[in-house]
């Protein structure tokens, strides 16, 4: 007897699974890595300013669509954490359904009549433990959003014969994906390769290479233009300085590059490690720092398989090549030294979808071999149970920052920044003595990515214990090499100074000059009128009425109408003009 499953049942079950498995995420708090900074930015933003979003002037990450989605959280959900987590879950649900329709179209092109192949590809994408990180982490939405547009692009391309209008809309979706996360650009080479793999679908089997290129010329042009338009947008948006592209140029091929012979083993190691994670995702770890050299051998084997897939040019093989193209972006991270860890599970989110579609299609070709059916069915059930258990367990762990980071430290015991996050979680639970003792044990070498966070936490601990002088001294040292944390360091230093003055511990003018310099710099960095407002308050508190009036006048001119401090600034301008 042949068992089939209808598309309607498949979709209904996938919806049930995604919502059921990730339901606990709704009760998770903000994660102390990245989430609070994003959340505070949103709290201090009171209007949509598309010019600021799409043309910020400089930075490392150009992700305007991600910022738009967060602003929607503010104006639609009121920054309710549970709804922000729910939005991540809904994005994953949409992506799961897109994987289903992509696999279904691919099976139709390959003339596979199995109704289970698309369902199983989408099911394992929905419950794969490797994907828990971007779904549970609010800051991980960037992968979900980029994946959404990349999957729509692939769905359009799976129509079979690629016409110019299909390529136009598919290339447009790729462009939107890049505006959510720059790594989506790595889908571009995969899209350009698609016509060469359509031989397996019987569409280009008798064409010469020249005719194939000529017939698909609009496809090649449109996708190439999409990539060029993205980089043009990025260049204009980061007109002052593009730190992201600069880092690629210096760390991959420039002065800070270790050289191809040194980098190659590390790249092969990363390839082997990430492929292993697709098959065996455990143990799940938020801070993967070290990877065994054994994975170099697996990396070499994977490269050989990719060459074989390029030669065979089957449709199922195309999805595996596509997974490799998108996954190549993850290989750049160890070279760029941009993030706090060289490896991360969230980088496989988009690649895992393509991998599962290709693997499911390949396995479905065994359906005629009866002795495989029972084995495959049993293995599917076992793997599903393991995946659901791992995903649900991990999602529940995300509900407690302290337990989450303690688990991470067990798996990466030598990674000192984790102690900083554990201390933050201990402070949140009121366990100040434990947090203080832990912070005192932290040793942060300057070559550690984001080591400034640890110094800032140490300074906060010193200030809590009444050693404001020690806290200021440590923050001033940190300001010598602040990295991307300069605005946060300035905020912390100004608050310590203000608490000393407002608390009557020091004379009014003690930190006047320093705070004026710091707040002026803060406004230069952020362009936030609230920094100007605080600058005006500092002048006013020191008795500099005319300077305060001038600054408050700037606040009135530059601050959005609805922000609470603008009205106060207007009144102060009037009063100080008398």
Confidence of residue 1 (pLDDT cuts 50, 70, 90): very low
Query: Distance between CA 533 and CA 551 in Å, rounded?
Result: 7
Mean predicted confidence (pLDDT) in 51-66: 83
Residue found by looking up tokens 């179209």 in the block: 105
User: Which of 238-247, 255-264, 298-307, 478-487 has the least mean pLDDT?
Assistant: 255-264
Asked if pLDDT for residue 127 goes beyond 90, the answer is: yes
Tokens 């799961």 found at = 96
Three-state DSSP class for 114?
coil
Provide the pLDDT confidence category of residue 169 given band limits of 50, 70 and 90: very high
The end-to-end CA distance of the chain, in Å, is 92
What single string gives the DSSP state of each residue in 475-537?
HHHHTTS-GGGHHHHHHHHHHHHHHHHHTTSS-TTTTHHHHHHHHHHHHHHH--HHHHHHHHH
Span 131-155, pLDDT tens digits: 999 999 999 999 999 999 999 999 9
Give Cβ neighbours of residue 61 (< 8 Å, ≥ 6 apart): 182, 244
**Cα–Cα distance for residue pair 210/406, rounded to 1 Å:** 58
**Residue pointed to by tokens 């999957």:** 151
HSE-up (13 A, CA, CB side) for residue 319: 28
Residue 56 in 3-state DSSP?
A: coil
* Mean pLDDT along residues 326-352: 85
Rounded to the nearest integer, the mean pLDDT of the chain is: 87
More confident of the two residues 342 and 571: 571
472 versus 101: the higher-pLDDT residue is: 101
**Cβ proximity of 160 and 109 under 8 Å:** yes
Per-residue pLDDT reduced to its tens digit, 455-497: 888 888 888 878 888 888 888 888 988 887 888 899 999 998 8
| Among candidate residues 169, 178, 109, 123, the one with its CA nearest the CA of residue 146 | 178
Instruction: Quote the pTM value.
Output: 0.86
User: Six-digit token pair at 174?
Assistant: 């790729």
The confidence score (pLDDT) of residue 497 equals 87
Tokens of 258: 């270790």
pLDDT tier, 184 (very low <50, low <70, confident <90, very high otherwise): very high
Instruction: Estimate to the nearest angstrom the gap between the alpha carbon of 66 and the chain centroid.
Output: 9
As a whole number, mean pLDDT of residues 322-328 equals 95
- How far apart are alpha carbons 554 and 550 in whole angstroms? 7
Do 60 and 1 contact (CB within 8 A), yes or no?
no
Q: Can you give 182-198 as a three-state secondary structure string?
A: HHHHHHHHHHHHHHHHH
pLDDT tens for 398-421 read 999 999 999 999 999 878 788 888
Task: Return the structure tokens found at 325.
Answer: 């193209």
Q: What is the distance between the alpha carbons of residues 435 and 421, in angstroms, rounded to a whole number? A: 10
- Determine which of 170-184, 235-249, 370-384 has the lowest per-residue pLDDT on average: 235-249
pLDDT at 370: 62
Instruction: Report, as an integer, the average pLDDT of 20-33.
Output: 93
């Amino acid at each position: 007897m042949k068992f089939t499953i209808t598309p309607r049942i498949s979709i209904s079950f996938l919806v049930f699974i995604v919502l059921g498995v990730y339901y606990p995420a709704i009760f998770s708090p903000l994660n102390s890595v990245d989430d609070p900074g994003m959340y505070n930015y949103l709290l201090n933003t009171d209007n949509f300013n598309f010019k600021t979003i799409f043309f910020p002037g400089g930075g490392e990450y150009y992700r305007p669509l991600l910022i738009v989605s967060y602003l929607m959280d503010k104006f639609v959900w009121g920054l309710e954490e549970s709804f922000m987590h729910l939005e991540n879950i809904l994005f994953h649900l949409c992506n799961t359904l897109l994987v289903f329709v992509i696999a279904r179209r691919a099976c139709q092109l390959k003339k596979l009549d199995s109704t289970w192949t698309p369902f199983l590809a989408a099911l394992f994408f929905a419950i794969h433990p490797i994907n828990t990180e971007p779904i549970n982490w609010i800051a991980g939405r960037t992968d979900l959003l980029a994946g959404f547009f990349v999957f729509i692009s692939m769905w359009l391309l799976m129509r079979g014969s690629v016409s110019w209008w299909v390529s136009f809309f598919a290339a447009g979706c790729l462009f939107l994906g890049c505006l959510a996360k720059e790594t989506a650009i790595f889908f571009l080479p995969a899209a350009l390769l698609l016509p060469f793999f359509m031989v397996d679908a019987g569409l280009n089997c008798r064409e010469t290479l020249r005719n194939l290129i000529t017939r698909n010329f609009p496809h090649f042009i449109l996708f190439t233009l999409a990539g060029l338009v993205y980089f043009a947008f990025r260049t204009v948006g980061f007109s002052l300085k593009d730190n992201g592209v600069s880092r690629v140029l210096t760390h991959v091929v420039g002065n800070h590059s270790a050289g191809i012979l040194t980098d190659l083993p590390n790249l092969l190691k990363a390839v082997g490690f990430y492929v292993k994670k697709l098959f065996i995702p455990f143990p799940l770890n938020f801070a993967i720092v070290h990877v065994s050299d054994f994975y170099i051998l697996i990396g070499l084997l994977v490269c050989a398989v990719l060459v074989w897939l390029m030669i065979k040019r089957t449709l199922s093989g195309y999805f595996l090549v596509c997974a490799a193209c998108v996954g190549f972006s993850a290989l750049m991270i160890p070279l760029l030294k941009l993030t706090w860890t060289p490896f991360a599970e969230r980088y496989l989110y988009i690649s895992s979808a393509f991998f599962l579609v290709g693997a499911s299609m390949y396995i479905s070709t065994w359906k005629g071999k009866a002795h495989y059916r029972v084995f495959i069915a049993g293995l599917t059930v076992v793997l599903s149970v393991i995946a659901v258990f791992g995903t649900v367990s991990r999602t529940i762990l995300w509900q407690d920052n302290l337990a989450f980071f303690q688990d991470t430290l067990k798996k990466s015991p030598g990674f000192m920044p984790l102690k900083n996050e554990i201390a933050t979680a201990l402070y949140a639970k009121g366990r100040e003595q434990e947090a203080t003792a832990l912070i005192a044990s932290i040793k942060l070498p300057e070559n550690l990515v984001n080591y400034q966070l640890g110094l800032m936490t140490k300074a906060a601990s010193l200030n809590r214990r009444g050693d404001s002088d020690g806290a200021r001294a440590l923050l001033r040292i940190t300001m010598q090499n602040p990295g991307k944390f300069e605005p946060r360091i300035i905020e912390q230093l100004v608050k310590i100074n203000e608490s000393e003055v407002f608390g009557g511990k020091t004379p009014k003018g003690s930190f006047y000059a320093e705070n004026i310099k710091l707040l002026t710099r803060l406004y230069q960095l952020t362009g936030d009128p609230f920094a100007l407002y605080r600058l005006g308050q500092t002048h006013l508190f020191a008795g500099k009425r005319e300077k305060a009036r001038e600054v408050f006048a700037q606040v009135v001119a530059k601050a959005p109408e609805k922000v609470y401090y603008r009205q106060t600034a207007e009144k102060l301008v009037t009063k100080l003009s008398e």
